[in-house]
Amino acid sequence: MQTKFTAVILAGGKSSRMKKNKALCTLGNKKIIEYSIEFFTQRNYEVIVSGDSQEYEFLNIKTVDDNFKNQGPLSGIEASFKIASHEKIILWSVDTPFISTALIEKLEHFAQDYDIVVPESEGYLQPLNALYSKSLYPHIKAMLEKNQPYLKDIIRNANTKIIKLGENTSLYNINTPEELEKAEKMLGSNGK
């Protein structure tokens, strides 16, 4: 039986360096958030947007608000895991629109053997662009209830596979107007 996946697009941040909601900034001919939604929809994933459900209502996609306020991305992860239909969940940060099929296939490849599969690029773990098992939900909720929203602790204590990557454009994130400008140039050179 083929594994089914849920993709959770993490779009609930404050976008303080961008000074506006970066998910709704235009890159090429569409909004940044639409790149992730289209990619995972084409792969037949269930797609959930974690963020302000009113702000993303126009997308006509399942959205979820945080149950635990002001506890960072872990609160969006908890709310999304609670409603996800599938055991295996790929988290994808909204500010990384250049998703690579090869990277996603690597995450999917290890899905059955690990609770977490997280890429490491240029020496840094990328926990907001990784695969998680829904079975981690009780641990995530317990950490939030203790006001300890630290994803690195979950990664350290779970059955985790780290995939070492070199520089990887699919993990390029857009947090500032300058990074958005660079992304426009990258988009033009990739022909997307």
CA 132 to CA 155: how far, in whole Å?
9
pLDDT > 60? residue 1: no
Q: Which residue has the tokens 């857009």?
A: 174
Strands 26-27, 116-121: pairing is unpaired
- Indicate the helix (H) or strand (E) that contains 189: helix 177-190
Domains and CATH numbers, the chain: 5-190 (3.90.550.10)
The per-residue pLDDT for range 107-144, each reduced to its tens digit, is 999 999 999 999 999 889 999 999 999 999 999 999 99
The per-residue pLDDT for range 148-176, each reduced to its tens digit, is 888 999 999 999 999 998 777 889 999 99
- pTM (2 d.p.): 0.92
